[in-house]
């Protein structure tokens, strides 16, 4: 039975990885006391339940874990099991931004600044990072890309073509997606928001799509934009990039950006089957 320990920096995406592994058929448990690791593995083995493996999540929240993980891992190995240690990390600036966005309290925050808390956590987890079987830097991943990356690792698909494309719409009023490789501003196009019968619809609706796509200005834009992508996408792949995120934005992320993102994804899918499309802000507003 496969045993994976997920650890690493707070805010680095461990929860996203756990959800992906649960969906894949792994039994995941978070913050189990380290003295119970071996006993828990034995119980799962004897339970007769059908799991692909066990995922134990442990990090700085468990002070006992930081002191006893080496002994706990050795006991499991002595019992005849292999352990994979996935250490999740991200750049300091990425972690600062993520905590700022979620307004979560950092678990190492002992009346110090967030930056100092991140530094303290790095120091306390340095031993785990050194013995990790895999270090996963999530700095440039969004949630969808991280889930896809984890599943590739778990399924052993890393030897295949890792290149995937995400086309996403967004609203500038809610901020530019930080993971973007290419950002296109389509606020110059006519806005359906000011057409009463289209205002409450979205770019997924045929009437809105036709209103936008049929405009001469949109056609002229597409004549430039799509050939540019046809040149850029292979260049990004040749550079070794695993994920390419094309973000198309309008004011509120509901009409113009959605319609153009759909058209862009359809164009790319003719040559790149691994194209995912998301609409980040489609439900947030109607402008």
48: pLDDT strictly greater than 90? no
Q: How confident is the model at residue 287 (pLDDT cuts 50, 70, 90)?
A: very low
Residues pairing with 247 in the sheet:
168, 183
Q: How confident is the model at residue 158 (pLDDT cuts 50, 70, 90)?
A: low
* The predicted structure's pLDDT at residue 220: 97
110: pLDDT strictly greater than 80? no
pLDDT in tens, 218-236: 999 999 999 999 999 999 8
65: pLDDT strictly greater than 80? yes
pLDDT in tens, 73-87: 999 999 888 999 999
Domain with CATH 3.40.50.300 in the chain: 2-155
Give the right CATH number for 2-155 from 3.40.50.300, 1.20.1740.10, 3.40.50.720, 3.60.70.12.
3.40.50.300
**Segment 116-124 long-range contacts (CB within 8 Å, at least 24 positions apart):** 118/9, 118/92, 121/9, 121/10, 121/60, 122/9, 124/60, 124/66
């Amino acid at each position: 039975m496969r045993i994976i320990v997920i650890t690493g920096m707070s805010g680095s995406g461990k929860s996203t990885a756990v959800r992906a592994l649960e969906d894949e058929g792994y039994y995941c448990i978070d913050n189990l006391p380290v003295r119970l690791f071996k006993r828990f593995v034995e119980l799962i083995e004897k339970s007769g339940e059908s799991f692909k493996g066990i995922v134990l999540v442990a990090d700085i929240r468990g002070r006992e874990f930081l002191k006893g993980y080496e002994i706990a891992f050795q006991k499991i190995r002595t019992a005849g099991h292999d352990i994979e240690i996935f250490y999740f990390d991200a750049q300091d600036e990425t972690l600062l931004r993520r905590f700022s966005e979620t307004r979560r309290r950092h678990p190492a925050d002992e009346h110090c600044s967030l930056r100092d808390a991140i530094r303290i956590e790095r120091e306390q987890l340095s031993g785990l990072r050194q013995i990790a079987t895999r270090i996963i830097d999530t700095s440039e991943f969004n949630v969808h890309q991280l889930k896809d990356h984890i599943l590739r690792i778990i399924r052993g698909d890393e030897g295949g073509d890792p290149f995937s494309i995400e086309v996403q719409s967004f609203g500038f009023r809610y901020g530019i997606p930080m993971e973007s490789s290419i950002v296109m501003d389509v606020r110059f196009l006519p806005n359906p928001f000011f057409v009463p019968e289209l205002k409450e619809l979205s770019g997924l609706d045929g009437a809105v799509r036709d209103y936008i796509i049929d405009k001469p200005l949109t056609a002229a834009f597409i004549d430039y934009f799509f050939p540019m992508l046809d040149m850029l996408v292979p260049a990004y792949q040749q550079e070794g990039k695993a994920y390419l995120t094309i973000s198309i934005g309008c004011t509120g992320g509901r009409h113009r950006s959605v319609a153009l993102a759909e058209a862009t994804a359809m164009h790319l899918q003719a040559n790149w089957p691994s194209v995912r499309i998301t609409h980040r802000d489609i439900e947030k507003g109607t402008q």
